[in-house]
Amino acid sequence: MIMTWSMLQGVVTLPLRSRWCCAVLAVLLFCTVPVAVGADAGEHCVTVPEQDYTDAFRFRPSTDHDQLEARLPEGVRIRSIRYQRFSVFNMEDPKENSTVYRWANQLHSITREWVLEDQMLLHEGEVYEQRRAEESERILRNLRFIYDARVRPWRWCGQYVDVEVLTRDIWTFTPSLSLSRSGGENAYAVGFRDANFLGTGKQVLVEYDSDEERAGYTLLYADPALLGSRWQMRARYTDNDDGYDHGLRLEKPFFSIYEPWSAGTSLDQQKLEEKLWFRGDEVSEFDHESEQYRVYGGLAAALEVDSRVNRWLFGYNYESHAFDFSDSDIPPARLPEDRDYSYPYIGFQSVEDKFAELHNFDYLGRTEDIFVGERYDWSLGYSGEGLGATRDQLAFRGAYSNTLLAEDRQFWVVGTWLSGFLGIDDRELENFWWEVETRYQYKQSERWALFSGLRLDYTDGLTVDNQLTLGGNNGLRGYDLHYQVGDRSFVWNIEQRYYSDWHPFRLLRVGFAAFVDVGRAWYEGGDNGSNGGVLANAGFGIRLNSSRAEKSSVVHIDFAFPFVRDDDVDDVQVLFTVKERF
């Protein structure tokens, strides 16, 4: 039954008692009209049944939602977007419905709806595009405080579609107490941090940390959507026992493949006691004071048919490096020369919009957005004395990566990057660094995977304050940190990995690894001292990945046994490190 405008006007002109009668009659007629499941009054709608709460909380696939999305015709517009925000623990799961976990949910400030809206590429009134929905998911999952996310249609009515956004928070307010050991050196940190302060998406950090090189206090504030815009801000203040580290960055990045332009500026000031290493020991120390100012931007072309976006980059960099003797009792034989760089530059970037959703890859038990396309970029600048630089040089940088194989069981990626300066007059390289890396992973089953990685490094013209080292957590786990030095190196790692389904206390995911590392750093034609040849070790380790906090941090506990030993090499190295990969 449809009531027209003229009928409504007639009701308005009736006496009060008659108007009440008509209103009651209208309600009775409306309530007696049969409404089919999935239909709205006045138009036919297809509505997806609500997914089970626990299945939605765990982001299990929904066939009904997938089928509805496949049926949507082109050009349908978004009528509404609703948000379902899950807290840290699932109170409908008997294993999580306990007093401690209820308190955790009550103390946690769930992410506010407007924080999620600021990150979305879909908006009410716009045409629904599946690609934008998928990229919105990746953007939300990339936030430090979101464990997982889904963006999907749940109702379709003619030319309109209703969309829902599902997100689940992680615990972000943590008093930090961390201990690590790598290459014979200990490190620790105490303080507190919150990556989602009061549910606003702002990051706050107050911390005291100490490692093999320095100790100090750090204050940090970061905003991923400044005033609800695409602009981001990050401010850092660090006071160390050997200097300071201050930084401020304000930028509008290429937020997505649809972003037409980017811009930004940054300021970094740093003073520290630089250390040089040999066989895991400090051989000299000196003060290094640096400043860097950057202004940069970019313009993007329209997205190509093959899902590739091309961008022109431009900007200006200024760097200043000054050196002095510190109060150390192991000063260097000579200080590095002070140097300044000042250069405008132009660059180009090309990125394919190709991602795969994987599980048990770099992390344990959660959705991972793995880039599986081709990407390359380069930049070239001129650093001249007339601009305030120490000497005339070309500043260059380049990077390339490509996924050669991405199947259900196999993943193979290669990449390379290089950077440095080339003298205009003498054609000599300065701080040239070239790295080539390849990683291959074969999934033997849902839980087992074989991993192999190879990394090659080559340098030329490194200034005294820069070193290429090998040992500890950068490749050779059976040897001290910075054990070998050189101007070139290689390291090969092979691991047998096991991603268990053990989920103790519903807080941690646990994995295991057995590994072999082989590598060497050396100078071509130069003596690298005793034990300067190819080194190797084997070992085993435990991997811990929180399912409720620090989703991108994997705790590594490794026991490594060196094959090639000298008097200064221990029988076993025990490493406690936190990395961004398994």
CA atoms of 381 and 344, how far apart (whole Å): 5
The C-alpha angle 237, 243, 249, rounded to 5 degrees, equals: 30
Give the pLDDT of residue 461: 95
Q: Which residues of 117-141 are buried (b: 16+ CB within 10 A; e: fewer)?
A: ebbbbbeeeeebbeebbbbbbbbbb
Give the pLDDT of residue 35: 33
296 neighbors 392 (Cβ within 8 angstroms):
no
Is the per-residue pLDDT at 426 higher than 80? yes
Query: Could you identify the residue written with the tokens 């940069």?
Result: 296
Query: Could you identify the residue written with the tokens 């306990």?
Result: 98
The C-alpha angle 495, 501, 505, rounded to 5 degrees, equals: 120
How many other CB atoms sit within 10 Å of the CB of residue 37?
6
Q: What is the mean pLDDT of the chain?
A: 88
Q: Give tens-digit pLDDT for 223-241.
A: 999 999 999 999 999 998 7
Is the per-residue pLDDT at 576 higher than 50? yes
For the domain made up of 45-169, give the CATH fold: Ubiquitin-like (UB roll) (3.10.20)
Q: Give tens-digit pLDDT for 492-508.
A: 999 999 999 999 998 99
Sign of CA dihedral 483, 488, 494, 498: positive
Q: What is the CA radius of gyration of the chain?
A: 29
Is the per-residue pLDDT at 3 higher than 70? no
With a CB cutoff of 8 Å and minimum separation 6, the contacts of 7 are none
Q: Kindly give the pairing relationship between strand 160-169 and strand 77-86.
A: parallel
Q: Give tens-digit pLDDT for 257-300.
A: 989 999 999 999 999 989 999 888 899 999 999 999 999 999 99
Q: Which residues of 222-247 are buried (b: 16+ CB within 10 A; e: fewer)?
A: bbbbeeeebbbbbebebebebbebeb
111 neighbors 196 (Cβ within 8 angstroms):
yes
Domain boundaries, the chain: 45-169, 172-231, 467-581
Mean pLDDT calculated for residue range 309-336? 94
CATH topology agreement for domains 45-169 and 172-231: no
268 neighbors 291 (Cβ within 8 angstroms):
yes
Mean pLDDT calculated for residue range 315-320? 98
Higher pLDDT, 176 or 532: 532
* Tokens standing for residue 292: 């860097």
DSSP 199: G
* Tokens standing for residue 517: 């590392």
475 neighbors 507 (Cβ within 8 angstroms):
no
Is the per-residue pLDDT at 429 higher than 80? yes
Q: What is the band of 184 on the pLDDT scale with cuts at 50, 70, 90?
A: low
DSSP 136: H
- Distances in Å between the Cα of 226 and the Cα atoms of 21, 115, 201, 270 are 55, 11, 10, 26
Give the pLDDT of residue 451: 97
Q: What is the band of 174 on the pLDDT scale with cuts at 50, 70, 90?
A: confident
Q: Which amino acid is at 368?
A: E
* Tokens standing for residue 59: 């982001």
- Distances in Å between the Cα of 37 and the Cα atoms of 1, 20, 44, 49 are 18, 31, 10, 10
Give the pLDDT of residue 160: 97
Q: What is the DSSP string of 58-90?
A: TT---HHHHHHHHHPPTTPEEEEEEEEEE-SS-
Give the pLDDT of residue 517: 97
Alpha-carbon torsion, ordered 568, 287, 435, 413, to 10 deg: 90
Give the pLDDT of residue 64: 95
Classified as helix, coil or strand, 390 is coil
Higher pLDDT, 27 or 216: 216
Mean pLDDT calculated for residue range 460-467? 95
Q: What is the band of 7 on the pLDDT scale with cuts at 50, 70, 90?
A: very low
Higher pLDDT, 364 or 174: 364
Give the pLDDT of residue 188: 73
Q: Give tens-digit pLDDT for 105-128.
A: 999 999 999 999 999 999 999 999
Residue 149 zone, left/alpha/beta (φ > 0; ψ -120 to 50; rest): beta
Q: Biggest alpha carbon distance in the chain?
A: 107
Number of helices (H), then strands (E), belonging to the chain: the values are 7, 28
With a CB cutoff of 8 Å and minimum separation 6, the contacts of 184 are 280, 472, 480, 481, 570, 573
Q: Give tens-digit pLDDT for 466-494.
A: 999 999 888 899 999 999 999 999 999 99
Crossing angle for the helix pair 16-32 and 5-13, nearest 10 degrees? 140
How many other CB atoms sit within 10 Å of the CB of residue 453?
18
Give the pLDDT of residue 243: 85
142 neighbors 119 (Cβ within 8 angstroms):
no
Is the per-residue pLDDT at 23 higher than 80? no
Q: What is the band of 183 on the pLDDT scale with cuts at 50, 70, 90?
A: low
Classified as helix, coil or strand, 542 is strand
**Of 160-164, 421-425, 548-552, minimum mean pLDDT range:** 548-552
Residue 426 zone, left/alpha/beta (φ > 0; ψ -120 to 50; rest): alpha
For the domain made up of 172-231, give the CATH fold: N-terminal domain of TfIIb (2.20.25)
Q: Where are the beta strands (DSSP E) in 124-202?
A: 146-157, 160-169, 173-182, 185-194
Give the pLDDT of residue 579: 87
* Tokens standing for residue 290: 């640096």
Classified as helix, coil or strand, 499 is strand
Give the pLDDT of residue 474: 84
Q: Give tens-digit pLDDT for 448-457.
A: 999 999 999 9
